[in-house]
Chain A
Amino acid sequence: MSLHDEKPEQVEAENFDFGLKKKKKKKAVPDFEEVAAAETETAAPEASNGAEAGEGDEDAVPEGDDAGNMFADLKKKKKKKKVTLEGEEPAQEEGAEGTKSEAFDFGEKKKKKKRRPDLAEFEAQLREGQTGEDGAEEEGTETSGAKKEGDDTWQGSNRDYTYNELLSRVFKILRQNNPELVGDKKRYTIAPPQVMKEGTKKSVFANVVDICKRMHRQPDHVIQYLFAELGTTGSIDGSQRLVIKGRFQQKQIENVLKHYFMEYVTCKTCKSADTILTKENRLFFLQCESCGSTRTVSAIKTGFMAQTRDARKAARANA
């Protein structure tokens, strides 16, 4: 159910919508069947598409975006935001369209309003006239026929609704009633690390403590991660700056910090950065303050370190 799979179908469905709507207007009242079918058909895929597209946007964008934007300056962020908004807008519109044709909503079309009160009666009629009108209807909706059957037609038939259908319905209504939920989420930013060179073989990371404070993490933990990832060592000097052995540029440190943020700060469930890291029985747990979920995070491991010339020299000196 990825976004890519949905896209073409969505377009198809939309194309069909127009056709069907026209038909709706033209046709007389009696053929409810088709209207209902068309309706459920238009409502369902679109709604699910809208919901999914929205979700996809929200899910997919912040991951990379958060990481990418975390340190970016405002200008960049604004640009990106625009992009995400553009992506989201069509989804929202579709959601709205889907709801328009939804039976239970206050549609603008008169026909629907007319039809709404006698739903039960109409359904009874449906069952009777199903066989007769089915053929004619399927001609009109050839391609979407399969989709309609599979997706969401509990209104037009006497079978029970499935969990997924109800779920997408709930999300659709939720989104429609609370537009603020759809909007893109608050971004968490960290000040860019200030990295300077100290001599030729050392780098100084000046605002470690500040960044750690902003992330609500122990500097020790952050530094341990930094050293493990960079494969070096270092120390904290008198004025709370981190001196790292080896030459590193700001963007390199930034990258590592981004990864740290993703691993140990953001909540995987709600993407919030409002989390606490606790240690229990030698395991690190990340607890989210905003959604309450807890997950374990992997301990920091240095892994294999290749023997460098320095180590070899030291070994030789010892021997």
Chain B
Amino acid sequence: MSETIQNLASYDPFADTGEESDLKVQGYIHIRVQQRNGRKTLTTVQGLPADLDQKRILKAFKKEFACNGTVVQDEDLGEVIQLQGDHRVKIQQFLASEGLASKDKIKIHGF
């Protein structure tokens, strides 16, 4: 009897959700900084909402912060914006002022 009930439950609510879906569900925008050689740094913006056009945002970033950058396609994180230089705080302010994300949804990492 108990077996049939077990079989009925095809959906396992305790199944592992996996890392990447976890990252997406939380809806945080992570802004990270990475060191390059010398005093140079890279800023990465991960987890921007999917309905936004990353290329247009990148263009705006580039113009606003006067830097270069690209959109990188990552297997499990989706599109990630990379910018040259440390623009973490500026990015947060920009996203907040343009109404693309609220400040509490943005997490700044790094030193």
Contacts and interface: CB of A to CB of B under 8 A. Distances in A.
Interface stretch (A159-167, A235-243, A251-259): A251-259
Interface residues of B, number: 20
A233 to B, nearest CB: 11
Contacts of A247: 35
Contacts, number: 52
A303 B72 CA distance: 14
Interface string B3-32: 000000000000000010001000000101
A230 interface: yes
A306 B40 CA distance: 14
A229 B42 CA distance: 13
A253 B109 CA distance: 12
B2 interface: no
Point out which of A230, A253, A255, A309 has the most chain B C-beta atoms below 10 A from its C-beta: A230
Which 6 pairs show the lowest CB-CB distances between chains A and B? A252-B111, A231-B34, A246-B35, A304-B46, A304-B80, A306-B42
23 contacts: A229-B109, A229-B110, A230-B110, A230-B111, A231-B32, A231-B109, A247-B35, A248-B111, A253-B111, A301-B19, A303-B77, A303-B109, A304-B30, A304-B44, A304-B72, A304-B74, A304-B77, A305-B34, A306-B42, A306-B80, A306-B82, A308-B36, A309-B37
Interface of A: 228-232, 246-248, 252-253, 255-256, 301, 303-306, 308-309
